[in-house]
Amino acid sequence: MSFVTTSDGVEIFYKDWGPKDARPIVFHHGWPLSADDWDTQMLFFLSRGFRVIAHDRRGHGRSAQVSDGHDMDHYAADTSAVVEHLDLKNAIHVGHSTGGGQVARYVAKYGQPQGRVARAVLISSVPPLMVQTDRSPEGAPIEVLDGLRAGLAANRAQFFLDVASGPFYGFNRPGAEVWEGTIRNWWRQGMMGSAKAHHEGIRAFSETDQTEDLKAITVPVLVLQGDDDQVVPYKNAAILQDRLLQNSTLKIYAGYPHGMHTTHADVINADILAFITG
């Protein structure tokens, strides 16, 4: 397996598929998953001649289960360590949910200043600020986020099963087609990681104000979200991202859930490809 060691000594696992001289696409996974969440996208873009890269966030998947650094600044720095190790240039960065926050912080702080990033895609992403405050009245109440922490601490295995079989993919909607394999794969990825990293990650994805990150980004950004996202309210996410970004394209999908890159991979992949090649 391939690892890079960060400046603070953390081993980060990554996948790197395809020709090394092909244009790179870097995928950033959501909470509490791993690089495996992008397998469908990685195979799709690999078959179209791209080099595809994804890494496990610290404390997630196969990366080191360290005690500290479960915040957006470290997530972005770890991303930069992978990108610099592989010397990726002219890259497209694609992030889902928490991974979208990771993309925004990385692009603003590292990728754009270093001239390594060409475009970005935010899918069902958490910026600018997920928690409900005076600045984000459409956000998630802190009580909801405290409930996530409580559920994880009490019985992480059952909690993860409930999330995957319910709101994440919209499988709790009347008449929804439930994919048992997808639920099991979500649970498998989650349980590979560190309970501490996942617990602290809730604060990272919900209480990190990334308004300035979004304002700083000048490269073209594709913003995608479903209007039936039960995890991240789209009016507090995609709509505001589009307003804050300097060069964005917004697309809202009717009825799509939070995990739409899995449930509607054919549509999402095609739209990302059109954005990259257009």
Active site residue 206: no
Catalytic hit among 78, 213, 229, 242: 229
Active site residue 229: yes
**What pTM value is reported for the model?**
0.97
- Topology of domain 2-277 in CATH is Rossmann fold (3.40.50)
Catalytic hit among 34, 63, 97, 165: 97
pLDDT recorded at residue 17? 98
Active site residue 71: no
Task: Assess whether pLDDT exceeds 80 at residue 73.
Answer: yes
> What's the pLDDT band for 1 if we cut at 50, 70, 90?
confident
pLDDT tens digits for range 203-214: 999 999 999 999
Q: How far is CA 238 from CA 10, 137, 147, 255, 266, in A?
A: 32, 15, 24, 15, 20
pLDDT tens digits for range 179-191: 999 999 999 999 9
Catalytic hit among 29, 60, 96, 258: 258
> What's the pLDDT band for 139 if we cut at 50, 70, 90?
confident
Per domain, the residue ranges of the chain are 2-277
